[in-house]
Chains A and B, each alone.
Chain A
Amino acid sequence: MPNHHHILTAALGLAVCWFSAAPVQARDASD
């Protein structure tokens, strides 16, 4: 299932790019 695997790899890469550029927010003090 190479296509499926490539899609998942792309999703992982996109997620990492998204979170690498996302703003840092103050930690929530509440649990």
Chain B
Amino acid sequence: MQRFSRVLQASPTRSSPAPATAVVLLEGKALHLASGLHHTATWRVLTREQLVAEQRAVFIIVIQLGKQGADMMVDYEIPANASSGTLRIQDQDGKLVFKSEESWRSSSGSRATYARLYGGLACRDGTEMAYRYNFYGRSSESGACARPTFPGKDSALEW
């Protein structure tokens, strides 16, 4: 069942506040592009340090940007809805067409990504990550940290 809501500007849980702008994290082969990309009214490009400092849970990780022939290709991961894949953007007679290629869903991959970014770090009350961890790790709608630090890779099932 689909609900027409925004993936990158949705709340991490039903009860938590929604972000005003989409957040982009560049990693891998896209990392070197960070210095040339600027914030806009609708999206912000954050470094890993900035993302972690804000304890963001809703963001898109862009791993690679490139061209394949005339098409633009975006390799991505969105841990908030456990999705990953490649987005192909085509210009068909002046109309942009988006095709999701090689997309897959993996909740274990999502847990591993959050553990990689936040494992062992102190939780702050009221952040997106506090809501997200409580909702999926503890089945709670609270934004008060359920534990002082986030679990790491060794205990990824706690996510």
Give A contacts to B, CB under 8 Å. Answer: 5, 7-31
The answer to the question of B52 belonging to the interface, with a C-beta cut-off of 8 Å to chain A, is: no
Which residues of chain A have C-beta atoms less than 8 A from B6's C-beta? 19-22, 24
* B residues at A contact (CB < 8 Å): 1-10, 22, 24, 33, 36-37, 40, 42-43, 45, 60, 62, 65-67, 72-74, 76, 78, 81-82, 87, 89, 96, 98, 105-108
Q: Which residue of chain B has the shortest Cβ distance to A16 in the bound complex?
A: B43
Complex contact B10–A24 (CB within 8 A): yes
Classify the secondary structure of A's interface with B.
Answer: helix
- Which residues of chain B are near A9, meaning CB under 8 Å? 33, 36-37
Pick the contact of A14: B7, B78, B96 (CB < 8 A). Answer: B96
